[in-house]
Structure 1
Amino acid sequence: MDQRIARLIEPRNAVIAALAASGLLIVGAHLFERVGGMPPCLLCLDQREAHWAAIAGAVMTLGLVAAFGKVDRILAAALGAICLLYVFSTGLAGYHAGVEWGFWEGPKQCSAVGNIDTTAISSGDFLSELERPAEGPSCSEAAWRMLGISMAGYNALISLALAMITGFSCMRIAKGLRQDRLTGPAVTEGSHG
């Protein structure tokens, strides 16, 4: 295995990579929105939630490691949970990319609608207005593409890579824990079990 990859899947490095990558994806999404003038659709907002959750999980994991030192079981559990978040993110982003390419339809709530004149809404119409699709761009139209791949497509690829990094790291720790369980604690001469 390449040494760079081996270092990347070291447990602490994998957690830091998850934190950094999800943080950069969130910053990038907000830059596209606020500076680039590309408001997110509902599926884009959903994809951000997975990365916010991964950031929270990584921060909590690093805090626990700092507080308690070598905590392989906590690292294994945290990396497993973060891996599952990235698997979910990969699926959601892949689904969104498929909607953009027209492979399948997106959710009904994810279609572009015109602006609502809130001054014209009476109190009786308020509840019916809440049932209307949310405002924002359609999920079926990619706001930006590079090399033919949309932001959702890149999110799917990056999330898949992060799922692999955290997953392999989790398996590495689990293998070590299993080996420790099989060999048991070291017995020194003169000690009796």
Structure 2
Amino acid sequence: MSAEALSPVTSTTSGIDAEQFRAIFRAHPAGVAVVTLHDGHRPVGFTATSVISVSAEPPLVAFSVSTGSSSWPALSASRQVVINFLADDQASLSARFAASGVDRFADGGWRPLPSGVPVLDGCSGWIEAAIHSRLPAADSRIVLVEAMAAWGTGRQPLVYRDRSYHKLIEYEI
């Protein structure tokens, strides 16, 4: 990896201001996931709409997280995560894992995998992954992980767009 790839992204020379940038991404739909991990004492998790497939060979996935997130200290030290892809009836679960100052696991609906990392019940699928790297990007980190196990149900995914949740409908061409 080049030194340039490891340099943090801290500023921009574009003419787009932050509000314009946010507006563009509010209009862009994204699948909803909850990233879970175990910090050695308790389960930790947060909602993520930034999950992307990077490569199938090897199976790499990435997501971003703010270093100001309450989950960042645990994630910065963790070696494994589970990316739980939420089903279209799990909007309340997404909201719970996006909320601050609550015990996100108190209502149950999860179980530990043999690795100890929590997996959420009822998801459309999940990927258990080993953390490969954490790349600095402004006040966030792009976390690159390698999938070790995956499971899917075929359930419809939860989608987030313009500050609200949506279900997909089939569209035939």
Q: Do both share a fold (TM > 0.5)? A: no
TM-score (norm 1): 0.22
Give the helix-richer structure, 1 or 2.
1
- State which structure, 1 or 2, has the greater radius of gyration over its C-alpha atoms: 1
Q: TM-score, normalised by structure 2?
A: 0.24
More strand by share: 2
